[in-house]
Amino acid sequence: MPAKAQDTVPGAAALPGGAVWELKFDGSTSTLGSVVFRTIEAVFYTAAVVSLLSLLPLGQQLATTPADNRAPIQTIADSLLNLRDHSNVAAVLAFTLGALMYYTLFYRSRLVPRWLSGWGIAATFLMMTASLLALFSNSPVTGYTLLILPIAV
């Protein structure tokens, strides 16, 4: 009999990898792929936070630098802000791919009602569209709130 999440670690189903235990592992790549994409998402969010935290020392250095030498520091700060913005978009894209794999696994395993996992699949495609639009228009993903809204429901 396969191990269930409630038999091993309490609350493991709340973790991204917890679904692997709950989803009757059938050897499909979707099970492992969903965990991998959620890990990639965490890496991109970590890169975004680190780039944002790197702005504080730059701001302090900018405050003490003479006005004629501020251009290189401003360029580095702008690059870090762009890195943060693009990391967030990449993280949302990784989230959508991982969520799509989760919802297809839920749809196939019938652990949740099919209409609910179908709603998740449709919402994931809308969110993926929002992240691709944000990537190519150089704007934040939150600018496409109507496309992101169905996954919040």
3-state SS assignment for residue 80: helix
C-alpha to C-alpha distance for 131 and 32, rounded to whole angstroms:
23
pLDDT 10s per residue in the chain (153 long)? Answer: 343 333 333 333 344 555 445 555 555 677 788 888 989 999 999 999 999 999 999 888 888 888 888 888 889 999 999 999 999 999 999 999 999 998 988 888 888 899 999 999 999 999 999 999 998 998 888 888 888 888 887
What is the domain partition of the chain in residue ranges?
Answer: 5-152
Query: Taken in order 5, 97, 126, 83, is the CA torsion positive or negative?
Result: positive
Q: What is the pTM of this model?
A: 0.76
